[in-house]
Structures are given as C-alpha cells and as structure tokens.
Amino acid sequence: MRVRIGLRFKIGMTIAATAAVSATLTGAFVPQIIQDDRRASVFAEYQEAVGQYRASGGRTTAGLEVGPAEVPQPLRGHPVPGGEGSAMLMDADFGSVTYLEEEETGTTVWAAGRGDDGRLLTLRRHFPQTLFEDLERTTRIAAGIGALGASVVGVALAASMVRRLRRSARQASRIKDGDLQARLPHRGWDEIAQLAAAVNAMAEALAARIEAERAVTANIAHELRTPVAGLLAATGLLTGDDRPTEMVRESSLRLRDLMEDVLEVSRIDNGGERAELREVELADVAWRVVAGVRADRQAELTVEVVHGTVQETDPRRLERILTNLVTNALRHGAEPVVVEVEGPELRVRDGGPGFPPELIAHGPQRFRTGGKGGLGLGLVIATGQAGVIGARLSWHNPPEGGAVATVTVGEGPVRPGPAPDQAGPHGPGGFSRACPNFCPPI
C-alpha cells in the first residue's frame, strides 16, 4: 500500500533532520576545537618558558620542568613520535610536541622538547574534567534547543504554506468543475502568490473564451430558428412519398433537433435552467420514457422495477435525462436496452461494447461521439439537466459486458424554479401525468 506523505510533513522533517545534523556536528566538533585551543595555549606557554630557560642559563621558570620522572612514556623517546596516534602532535619548526593525557580527574596537556644539552624539557597544565563536561553538556543542550526551535519554526512555516496551497487547490478544483468565477487567493509576492496570479489569469482568459464561444453558439442557434421553422413549414407542404422528399423531411427534423439541443446546452451553461419540483413515482417516469421512445422507433426496450419509490424532483427534466440515455444506448450500444428502477436509482443497461474509457474517466464531452453520428450533445444535456435537478449521473462497464448509465435522484442541490402559481399550463411539472402509480407494460 502506497503511503501518502504531505508536504508539511516533508518540509518539517527536512528542517528537523537538518537541525539534528547541525546539532550532532556541533557536539562533535566543539570538544575537538576546545582541545586544540588547550594545546595551543599550553604550547605557547612552553615556548615562552623555554625562551626564559635559555636566556637565564638553565634556570627553570613558569612551570617548566627538566626531565620529570612522571613524564608520559610516549614523550620519553622524543623527538621520535610514539605510536599514540592523535594524542601527540609535533611542531616541525620547533621540534616540540604536545600530548594529551586523559585521567579520571580531567585532562593534562603536556608540551615537551629537547634543550640544547639534550635534556627533556616539559610543561604541563591540568584541566579539570568538570569544566570540560560542563562546557560540552552546555554546547549539546544549546544545539539541541536550537534544533528543536528550528524544527518548530520550520513546521509552522510549512503548515502556513500548506494551508495556502490547499486553499489554492480547492479553488482550482472549483474552476475545473466549471465555476469560472472562482479565483485563487492572491497574497504576498512569493512563489505561491505568483502561481496563484498565473492561475487566476489563466482562469480569466478561459472564462472569457468560453463565454465568447457560448455567446456565438447561442446566437447562431437563435438565428437559425426562423429559417429552420420556415424549412419545416415548407417540408409540410411537400406531397409525395418518394425517397428524396422523405430525406428532406428527415434532415429538417434532425436540424431542428440539433438546434434545440444547442439552445438547451447554452441555457444550461448560462444557468438559465431552473427545476420545478414535485413528488413523482420513478417507475412512472421510466414507463413514460420507454413508451415515448417506442413510439418513435421499433426497439427492444423493457422496464424492470426492482423497488419503486417516490422522489421529489423535476419529472420533465428527469424524463429528458432518461430519454437521452435510452436514445444513446440504442444509437451507440446494442439491444436489448433495459431501464431498471431500484429505489432512487434509474439504470439504463445495454448490450453494446461499453462506454469509452475517457467518458468513464472525465464524463461526457460536447462534440465528442462514439463514432455513429451525432455531435455528442445528448449525454452532455443529460449531465447538465442532472445538475439542475440535483441528480447524479455515473457510468460504468459491468464485467459481463455492455454499458450501464445510472441516474441517482436526490444526490445534491437543485436550482429552484418558479412558484406553483407561475408554473406551466400542465401544473408544476410542465405536463400532466400520463398514468397514476405504475403504467402497464407496453
């Protein structure tokens, strides 16, 4: 299982690790620096004492000793360095060495060299262990506190950055979902603010372009209404049943339907559609849709009611959604097509090759079709009308084959319509119910 690690945790852990490494290096190098400083101070004292020894003709001063009995063994063979590693360091210019001798009570630093007469000259200084331990402990505590403080500050800064990024991500998701008025919060002049400004500029340009396209589409559809109406009227005057006349009639009807679809998409895009809610039996809606589609074409259509229910919705728009799904199943799928009613779900199942992967992943896209004609507006209208009435559309290909489109009624907010006294001539739903409760099989 892949573990998701947030940006705040990554930044906080990076700062904490950096501070910990810094504290460790400080704790390791500070004692060495102190020891080197002790060596240098003792060696300087030794050089001064040797100078006085030579100037006075062999009189020892300032703690200088000549061949003491307790001198450490590695210094007895000087000037040839012993095998004590880093405990003894030699100065090449003066032929002298310094040596660290660790004891229970502390550390003794020796400085030694040979006089003019060949005798061993030494100087030693003892540093109590408590002083070194206190200094080392203080250094480590200070480094630890600094690391902890840096971690806390780093996590706080990371949390602030993550909050800004999350707010920006939420707004970006709203833009992706179609809310072109959403904008990313823009504050400050850092890289996050620059990213927000760039995304806002992109959203404004995208909104302007989409609005321009919507306006052009709506204007074209409106301009076509009059000539299309005249064309339909003219086709009604045609007599005869020959194939050319029938083709003119079919093309005129198809052009009218396309124009109405484009106008409906434009109204949905502009927020001009409003739901007119009332309680309806979902099984009745399914039967009416199947009856209407069968009246237009001969097809193998059935309705299966697993569990009927009454839902508050807009029946006219729900019929529009279901009709488009059934028509799409007949056009791009294969018979038989079954409309299943189970509680608040209406499922349209066909025996075709299934939905394309891009439709399942991203939903219907206008002017994209499965390759059997049309402009791909049927499912786009169904999705838009589902948003108006607060329903949810989902798509999947079952393992046994075919395709299933599911409408779940009552899954979200709706766009409320006019008051009951402002409804259409057939009541709040815009039409009179064809049959009460369940319609008989067709």
d(CA 160, CA 362): 32
d(CA 272, CA 189): 39
Site of tokens 């200070």: 142
Cα 319 to chain centroid distance, Å, stands at 37
Shared domain for 324 and 292, answered yes or no, is yes
**Residue 23 pLDDT > 90:** no
Cis preceding-peptide flag for 79 (omega within 30 of 0) = yes
Q: What is the pLDDT of residue 204?
A: 87
d(CA 21, CA 377): 61
Q: What is the pLDDT of residue 221?
A: 72
Average pLDDT over residues 73-79: 70
Domain total of the chain: 3
Give the pLDDT band of residue 350 (cuts 50, 70, 90).
very high
Shared domain for 260 and 285, answered yes or no, is no
Shared domain for 227 and 298, answered yes or no, is no
In a domain, 323, yes or no: yes
Shared domain for 128 and 100, answered yes or no, is yes
In a domain, 430, yes or no: no
Report the CATH number at residue 343: 3.30.565.10
Shared domain for 11 and 39, answered yes or no, is yes
Shared domain for 103 and 218, answered yes or no, is no
In a domain, 54, yes or no: yes
pLDDT above 70: percentage of residues in the chain: 81
Between 160 and 370, whose confidence is greater? 160
Extract the tokens encoding 27: 């704790």
Residues for the chain: how many in total? 442
Average pLDDT over residues 55-72: 82
Average pLDDT over residues 99-109: 82
β-strand pairing of 106-114 with 310-313: unpaired
Average pLDDT over residues 3-27: 72
Helix (H) or strand (E) holding 88: strand 88-91
Extract the tokens encoding 225: 């209404």
In a domain, 239, yes or no: yes
Torsion of CA 327, 328, 330, 333, to 10 degrees: -170
β-strand pairing of 65-66 with 120-128: antiparallel
Question: Helix H segments across 270-391?
Answer: 282-296, 315-332, 357-362, 377-389
Render 316-338 in DSSP notation, one character per residue: HHHHHHHHHHHHHHHHHS-S-EE
Q: What is the pLDDT of residue 85?
A: 41
Extract the tokens encoding 360: 């399942």
d(CA 100, CA 304): 96
Shared domain for 264 and 291, answered yes or no, is no
In a domain, 18, yes or no: yes
pLDDT in tens, 275-287: 888 999 999 999 9
DSSP state of 440: P
Nearest Cα neighbor of 196 from 167, 220, 223, 227 is 167
DSSP-assigned beta bridge partners for residue 374: none
Nearest Cα neighbor of 372 from 338, 398, 334 is 334
In a domain, 124, yes or no: yes
DSSP state of 45: H
Shared domain for 131 and 215, answered yes or no, is no
Q: What is the pLDDT of residue 93?
A: 47
Shared domain for 283 and 253, answered yes or no, is no
Shared domain for 286 and 417, answered yes or no, is yes
Nearest Cα neighbor of 309 from 162, 159, 410 is 410
Average pLDDT over residues 39-62: 85
In a domain, 184, yes or no: no
Average pLDDT over residues 219-234: 79
Q: What is the pLDDT of residue 4?
A: 62
Burial class (CB in 10 A: 0-12, 13-18, 19+), 31: middle
Shared domain for 262 and 394, answered yes or no, is no
Q: What is the pLDDT of residue 216?
A: 77
Q: What is the pLDDT of residue 431?
A: 30
- Please list, in sequence order, all residues whose beta carbon lies within 8 angstroms of the beta carbon of residue 325, skipping any fewer than 6 positions away: 348, 379, 382, 405, 407
**Residue 272 pLDDT > 70:** no
Q: What is the mean pLDDT of the chain?
A: 77
Shared domain for 129 and 53, answered yes or no, is yes
Residue type, 98: T
> Which of 89, 111, 144 is where one domain is finished?
144
In a domain, 193, yes or no: no
Average pLDDT over residues 79-92: 50
Q: What is the pLDDT of residue 84?
A: 41
Average pLDDT over residues 132-139: 71
**Residue 379 pLDDT > 70:** yes
DSSP-assigned beta bridge partners for residue 173: none
Domain limits for position 335: 278-422
Burial class (CB in 10 A: 0-12, 13-18, 19+), 314: buried
pLDDT above 90: percentage of residues in the chain: 12
Nearest Cα neighbor of 389 from 410, 406, 407 is 410
> Which of 144, 171, 200 is where one domain is finished?
144
Its pTM stands at 0.49
